C-alpha cells in the first residue's frame, strides 16, 4: 500500500499530523472523510502519482494517528477553519506554495474551507459527496433527518455518543459487515480498525460533527452573507448510489452560488467512492487537475 510514498509525522503549529506524500509535479492534497484515515486513498493516490502529480494524504486532526487537541465549549479546535489551517501549514512544510485540494465527506468541508480562507494558496478544488454545511442544514427536511440522523446524535454533548460507540466500535462502524477487509482492502481496513478502536479518536471525530452544527455553520453563513465565493475552478463529484441526488437534485446547482467556476457529475458508486470506484474517480480528477484555465 502506498508504494513510493513517504510516511511521516510532522508538527504543524503544535498539531502533529500523520501524512503520506509522494510523486512529483503539481501538488494535490487528498482529505478523507469519517470514520476513515488517509489510507482510504490507497488506490487513488498512486494512480495520481503515475499521472504526474505530487500527492499529499494527511490524517485530519482528530482522525487516525493525527493529534487530538483538547476541545472547548464551542468545539473550535475541530472547526473546519482550524483544519484548513493545518492543510496550509502542512503544505508550507512540504514546500508547496500552490496546490489543489480534494476532499470527501467530512474532508470536503475542510477542502472548501481551505479554498475560501486561503484563495491565494488553493489552485483547484474538488468536493466529493457533499454540499456546504450551512446548505445541508438549511435544506434539512424529514428525509435528510431520517437518513443523516447521525449528525444530530454525534453532536449531542449532554448524552455523548462516545459511550454508545465505544462499547462496540466494530459493530457500530460495520467493521465485519459493510466495511470488511475485502471492501476496504486489508491494510486500509487495519488502519480503519485501529482508529475506531481508539476512544480518543472516536471522541475527536465526534467533535468534528459538533463543530459542524455550530462554529462551521456560522462561518459558512457569514461568508455567504459577505458574498465571498470560491475563486478557483471547482469540481463536484458524487456517488450515484448514495443519496446526494435524492436529497439535492443536481448537487452542482447547490454549489453554483458558492463558486465562480463549477462543474461536476456523478460516478457509479456507493458512498466511499475512493475505495469503490478508484479508476473512474482517478480519471475524473486527473482530467480536472490537469486542465489549464485557458482550456476551460
> Which positions are annotated as active-site residues?
105, 271
CA neighbor of 26 nearest in space, from 3, 42, 48, 46: 48
Which of helix, strand or coil describes residue 131? coil
CA 95 from chain centre, in angstroms, equals 22
Q: How many CB atoms lie within 10 A of CB 89?
A: 17
Q: Which three cell numbers stand for residue 179?
A: 466495511
Q: Which three cell numbers stand for residue 177?
A: 459487515
Q: How many CB atoms lie within 10 A of CB 85?
A: 20
Amino acid at each position: 500500500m502506498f508504494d513510493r510514498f513517504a510516511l511521516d509525522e510532522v508538527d504543524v503549529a503544535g498539531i502533529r499530523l500523520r501524512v503520506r506524500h509522494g510523486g512529483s509535479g503539481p501538488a494535490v492534497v487528498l482529505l478523507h472523510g469519517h470514520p476513515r484515515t488517509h489510507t482510504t486513498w490507497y488506490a487513488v493516490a498512486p494512480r495520481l502519482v503515475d499521472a504526474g502529480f505530487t500527492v499529499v494524504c494527511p490524517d485530519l486532526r482528530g482522525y487516525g494517528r493525527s493529534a487530538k487537541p483538547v476541545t472547548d465549549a464551542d468545539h473550535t479546535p475541530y472547526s473546519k477553519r482550524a483544519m484548513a489551517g493545518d492543510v496550509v501549514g502542512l503544505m508550507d512544510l512540504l514546500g508547496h506554495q500552490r496546490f489543489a485540494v480534494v476532499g470527501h465527506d467530512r474532508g470536503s468541508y475542510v477542502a472548501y474551507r481551505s479554498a475560501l480562507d486561503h484563495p491565494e494558496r488553493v489552485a483547484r478544488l474538488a468536493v466529493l459527496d457533499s454540499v456546504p454545511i450551512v446548505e445541508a442544514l438549511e435544506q434539512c427536511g424529514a428525509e435528510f433527518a431520517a437518513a443523516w440522523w447521525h449528525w444530530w446524535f454525534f453532536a449531542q454533548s449532554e448524552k455523548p455518543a462516545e459511550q454508545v460507540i465505544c462499547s462496540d466500535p466494530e459493530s457500530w462502524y460495520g467493521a465485519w459487515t459493510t466495511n470488511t477487509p475485502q471492501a476496504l482492502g486489508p491494510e486500509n481496513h487495519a488502519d480503519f480498525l485501529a482508529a475506531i478502536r481508539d476512544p480518543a479518536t472516536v471522541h475527536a471525530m465526534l467533535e468534528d460533527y459538533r463543530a459542524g452544527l455550530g462554529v462551521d455553520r456560522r462561518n459558512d453563513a457569514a461568508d455567504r452573507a459577505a458574498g465571498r465565493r470560491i475563486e478557483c475552478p471547482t469540481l463536484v463529484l458524487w456517488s450515484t448510489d448514495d443519496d446526494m441526488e435524492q436529497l439535492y437534485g443536481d448537487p452542482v446547482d447547490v454549489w453554483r452560488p458558492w463558486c465562480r467556476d463549477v462543474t461536476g457529475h456523478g460516478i457509479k458508486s456507493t458512498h466511499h467512492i475512493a475505495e469503490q470506484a478508484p479508476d473512474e474517480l482517478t480519471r475524473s480528477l486527473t482530467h480536472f487537475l490537469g486542465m489549464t484555465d485557458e482550456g476551460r
